[in-house]
Amino acid sequence: MNKPVLLVADDDPQVLAAVRRDLRSHYRENYTILSAASGAEALETIRELKTRADSLAMVISDQRMPGMLGVELLVQLREVYPLARRVLLTAYSDIDAAVKAINQAHLDYYLSKPWDPPEECLFPAVDDLLDAWQAEYLPEAKGLRLVGHQWSPRSHAIKDFLAGNLIPYHWLDVARDPAARALLEAAAVSPDELPALFFEDEVSVLRNPEPRQVAERLGRSLSAAFDMYDLVIVGAGPAGLAAAVYGASEGLRTLLLDRHAPGGQAGTSSRIENYLGFPAGVSGSELTRRAIAQAQRLGAEFLSPLEVTGVSVDAGYKRIRLADGSELVTRALLAATGMSYHEHPAPGVAEHTGAGVYYGAATTEAAAFSGRRVLIVGGGNSAGQAAMYLAGHAKEVQIVVRRDGLHNTMSQYLIEQINRTPNIGVRPRTEIRSVEGEGRVERVALASLDDGTCRMEEADALFVFIGTRPRSDWLAASVLLNEKGFVLTGRDLMACDAYARVWKEQREPLLLETSVPGVFAAGDLRAGAMNRVASAVGEGSMVVRLAHEYLALT
């Protein structure tokens, strides 16, 4: 198979030669370096690569080229090679234009001229972008292949598990792909054994597996390495990941657990644009990939899927009960399990969950809705990010909200993007009354909150982003919660009527400490949290210092 391609476009022969020289010096063993002297020539090369089924990893384009600006080239690149990384090469005077064009071309990065020395100014950025591309890209006919029905909840569950755990795979719909049927016949897999997961050796296959079986077959350990930990973190969202990074780096024996996959709700976001240090935005999966790799490199242990069902305290030690019947012991515990979505109460929603009804972004299903019509219920940032992502696939996206509009619940930058996207509409003062379909979503009843009228409309999917609740039910009864189930911490505990009954220490609770000494809470689970990725990361980082203080007292 040919090497993946890195393509450079610049109308200045000296700049083009210099970039090509630097890239070849560092990447020629693993990539083919091609160049083009104009945007039109680069676009012709891109289309030729596509016809030959070659893989294109990255395009680095100058901005000011006659006939076609770099941004225009990168916009068209996205249509042909959506996974290829897009980098704009700009002079100092063009940086403002590059920043403004980030939304238009969905740039991954922009480089300023000059880039000397390349060891500091070029290679680190390109390395990160290529790592991200490799994490998403999988050559045809290699790696894991998942065969199932598009509208099967079981198939959706395995797709969601693989994607959430950053495991590349190929999806084959048995109803549409002849290769899927050939695989099933060769392995003697019957229709009632779907979904089926085929491994790279083309012999091994898991029939209708549970996520835990998939993890074990892929060689992922689900057993803790030690009997005792300094810090166990339950929940691998932004708060939990940050705590794992800082806990491991500061010498604590640290274990991170998650019942599904790292990243939490933020990990399913198609594009986070207001996180510090990422001017072009960053996907939740990419941020998660970087964070989990960083935590493990520093020494944190990560186990998933592993669900915690309860916790008790014995002489200051926290005993954590797991769904598989095993138990872990730790000196300090961080609860960072965030929130989950309520089931939508409309008739027909439960019956179609996983078969056209999805909670959260469900980016694994986006490609299936090419040319189709989808509805999004909810007006927060997560709903807006999902709408923008789905608009790149679906023919039409409708955002359904009970409020007058999006201005009170969604960030302004997202509202502006939605207003500029022609295939996204907003349906204010509207609610879902029912969902219908034979084996999949086909119709949705929408009701006006103004006049009560209800109309049935055709739709292929419903993505739900409403009714979140804290996942605090696994905590000990002595962990005090507010009336909505969020965990009380620090001085907020002292206003609770039960505080004097449960808190018996001679000191006040630490800032993020719960009513149980040595048990901390951070992120969306905590009462008073700001529900932002940056604030969750800050709280998770802060817990490590507080855990050190607690451990010094015991």
How is the chain split into domains, by residue range? 5-136, 144-209, 228-340+469-553, 350-466
pLDDT for position 126: 95
Over range 124-148, report the average pLDDT. 83
Q: Of the given ranges (55-59, 125-129, 358-362, 376-380), which has the lowest mean pLDDT?
A: 358-362
What pLDDT does 94 receive? 65
Share of the chain above pLDDT 90, in %: 76
Whether cis (ω within 30° of 0) applies to the bond prior to 195 is yes
Judged against a pLDDT cut of 60, whether residue 140 lies above it is answered with no
Average pLDDT score over the chain: 92
User: Which residue in this structure is represented by tokens 């990243």?
Assistant: 263
What superfamily would CATH give domain 350-466? FAD/NAD(P)-binding domain (3.50.50.60)
- Does residue 290 carry a pLDDT above 50? yes
Q: Which of 97-111, 203-217, 314-328, 482-496 has the lowest mean pLDDT?
A: 97-111
For the ranges 50-64, 66-80, 266-280, 528-542, the maximum mean pLDDT occurs at: 528-542
- Six token digits for residue 197: 């997961």
Looking at CATH, the fold of the domain delimited by 144-209 is given as Glutaredoxin (3.40.30)
In this model, does residue 281 exceed pLDDT 60?
yes
Q: Any idea which architecture 228-340+469-553 has in CATH?
A: 3-Layer(bba) Sandwich (3.50)
Phi, then psi, of 465 in degrees rounded to 5: -135, 45
Q: For 526-540, how does the pLDDT look when each residue is reduced to its tens digit (9 = 90+)?
A: 999 998 999 999 999
Residue 141 has pLDDT above 80, yes or no: no
User: Which of the listed CATH numbers 3.40.50.720, 3.40.50.300, 3.20.20.140, 3.40.50.2300 matches domain 5-136?
Assistant: 3.40.50.2300
pLDDT of residue 52: 83
Hey, what are 162's tokens?
A: 């693989």
Q: What is the mean pLDDT of residues 59-65?
A: 92
* Residue 100, pLDDT above cutoff 80: no
Residue-wise pLDDT for 2-23, tens only, equals 799 999 999 999 999 999 999 9
Predicted local distance difference test score (pLDDT) of residue 103: 67
Cβ–Cβ < 8 Å for 74, 22: no
pLDDT, average across residues 49-75? 90
Residue 154, classified by CB atoms within 10 Å of its CB into exposed (0-12), middle (13-18) or buried (19+), is middle
In this predicted model, what pLDDT tens digit does every residue of 434-447 receive, in sequence order? 999 999 999 999 99
In this structure, are residues 498 and 413 in contact, taking their beta carbons and an 8 Å threshold?
Answer: no
- For residue 461, the model assigns a pLDDT of 97
Q: Is the pLDDT of residue 142 over 60?
A: no
Give the C-alpha distances (Å, rounded to integers) separating 276 from 292, 376, 415. Answer: 18, 27, 20
pLDDT value for 432: 97
Angstrom distance (rounded) from CA 318 to CA 313: 5
State the pTM of this model. Answer: 0.83
How high is the pLDDT of residue 139? 62
> For residues 415 and 532, what is the distance between their CA atoms, to the nearest angstrom?
17
Topology match between the domains 144-209 and 350-466: no
When mean pLDDT is compared across 49-53, 145-149, 235-239, the lowest value belongs to 49-53
Residue 269 clears pLDDT 90, i.e. is over it: no
Report pLDDT for 514. 98
What is the DSSP code string of 116-158? Answer: -SHHHHTHHHHHHHHHHHHHH---TT-SEEEEE-TT-HHHHHH
